[in-house]
Amino acid sequence: MSHDVDSHADLHQFKVLCGTISKRFNARL
């Protein structure tokens, strides 16, 4: 159970990070 929660949290951070990078990339264009 703990592993699933940690994995979900990591996935959420990954999505947030990707979103932030996408916003910065689009802002440069």
What pLDDT is attached to residue 29?
73
Report the half-sphere exposure of 9 (CA within 13 A, side-chain side).
Answer: 6
- Residue spans of alpha helices (H) in the chain: 2-28
Tens of pLDDT, residue by residue over 1-29, are 566 777 889 999 999 999 999 999 999 87
pLDDT of residue 19: 97
What does the alpha-carbon distance between residue 3 and residue 27 come to, in Å, rounded to a whole number? Answer: 36
